[in-house]
């Protein structure tokens, strides 16, 4: 998984954003990045470090902590903060300045094999993002040899269901509320048209 450059010794660190904080323009401006990356994402990392200090989870890869705490009632706080750290690390890389457009050829072929058209794939992603009730995530994943769209609630991540994430869209209100208020559809469609990083998704196929 190309998402694990976030540990330093036994402490997780907030990975650097892969672009400047104003690079995503008016869809996700610097003010939203300041709260979402600087406060929410950073908060999950800091909470995780506090929760796992001195435990058997200290120093483990994030994916292993997620796998070992998923579904365990007494480990909910560790799971939530580990998964939210992972999800946000993945989310920022699922976006890029001047994104959208056409996926790389290999990914496009897979999209067409699974959804018939790129447009149908985008519509499914938008529908998953819109119908996730409350907080959560919409994902493009590999399910065996096929691509699929899934949604998860709160901190849940498709890794725990044996699915391989290719890209994600955060639909927690904190991801869009400063700019879009209640208009989640406008945020999601703007991401799919202008910011989604198909190259990142293609890299994750391998």
- The reply to whether 172 sits near Mn ion by the rule CB under 5 A is yes
* DSSP per position, 12-35: E-PPPPSS-TTTTTTTS-HHHHHH
| Residue from 80, 124, 152, 170 binding Mn ion (CB under 5 A) | 170
What's the CA gap between 129 and 72, in Å, rounded?
A: 26
Minimum distance from residue 119 beta carbon to Mn ion (Å):
27
Minimum distance from residue 166 beta carbon to Mn ion (Å):
18
Residues in the chain: 206
How many residues at the interface with Mn ion, by CB under 5 A? Answer: 2
What's the CA gap between 73 and 78, in Å, rounded?
A: 10
Minimum distance from residue 10 beta carbon to Mn ion (Å):
25
- The reply to whether 156 sits near Mn ion by the rule CB under 5 A is no
Q: Which stretch binds Mn ion (CB under 5 A): 4-12, 95-103, 135-143, 172-180?
A: 172-180
Minimum distance from residue 37 beta carbon to Mn ion (Å):
9
Measured in degrees and rounded to the nearest 5, phi and psi for residue 69 equal: -110, -10
Pair 21, 29: CB distance under 8 Å: no
Residue ranges binding Mn ion (CB under 5 A): 170, 172
């Amino acid at each position: 998984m190309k998402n694990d450059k976030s540990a330093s010794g036994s402490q997780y660190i907030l990975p650097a954003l892969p672009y400047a904080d104003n690079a995503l323009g008016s869809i996700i401006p610097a003010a939203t990045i300041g709260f979402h990356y600087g406060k929410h994402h950073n908060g999950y990392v800091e909470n995780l470090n506090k929760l796992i200090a001195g435990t058997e989870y200290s120093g483990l890869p994030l994916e292993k902590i997620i796998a070992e705490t998923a579904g365990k009632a007494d480990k909910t706080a560790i799971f939530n903060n580990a998964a939210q750290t992972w999800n946000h690390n993945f989310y920022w890389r699922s976006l890029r300045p001047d994104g959208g457009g056409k996926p790389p050829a290999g990914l496009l072929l897979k999209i067409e094999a699974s959804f018939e058209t790129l447009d149908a794939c985008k519509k499914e992603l938008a529908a998953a993002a819109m119908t996730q009730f409350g907080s959560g995530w919409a994902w493009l994943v590999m399910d065996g040899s096929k691509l699929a769209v899934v949604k998860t609630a709160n901190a849940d991540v498709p890794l725990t269901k044996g699915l391989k994430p290719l890209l994600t869209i955060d639909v927690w209100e904190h991801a869009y509320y400063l700019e879009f208020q209640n208009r989640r559809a406008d945020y999601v469609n703007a991401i799919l048209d202008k910011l989604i990083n198909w190259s990142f998704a293609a890299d994750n196929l391998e």
